[in-house]
Amino acid sequence: MKSILFIVALLIAFSSCKKDIEIEKGDYLSFGSFHGECLGNDCVKIYRLEENKLYEDPNKLNGTKIGLIKLSDEEFNQVKDLIDYIPKELFKKESETFGCPDCVDQGGYFVNYFIDGKRGIFRLDTDIDALPNFVQDFAKKIKEKLELL
């Protein structure tokens, strides 16, 4: 009986371990920021991580592959771990807006991914307190990574 309980406990422990998410061939994570009431070239910034590369999207096409500019390996290394901060709850949704991005000219964050066969498109408020708890750390990490670029 003790053996069975031990095996069950091991199975539960291993099934609860976080699977490392990696960007494989064909997968991508696009992220950026936007501001509606804005003038100039910095109103929308979008970047795309795929495999071992980071691109900037100068055409503001939500991270599609059209016209992307490859950035340096140094810049890639600064942001490559962003994928590790995607909350598991986001993989259960296809699209959602959290908070009220840019409702009072505070801007917003944009996330678009296709990872391990799952697709998601999200808009996040830059006001961290307006976000559900499960997405707050991810939004903070997006802000941090954007400031590095």
| DSSP calls for 34-77 | E-SS--STTSEEEEEEETTEEEE-TT-STT-STT-EEPPHHHHH
- Band (pLDDT 50/70/90 cuts) for residue 64 is low
The Cα 102–Cα 141 span in angstroms is 19
Whole-number pLDDT of residue 48: 93
Residue 99 has what DSSP assignment?
A: S
Structural domains of the chain, ranges and CATH numbers in brackets = 23-148 (3.30.1560)
pLDDT of residue 121: 94
Question: pLDDT tens, 85-131?
Answer: 999 999 888 899 999 998 888 999 999 999 888 899 999 999 999 99
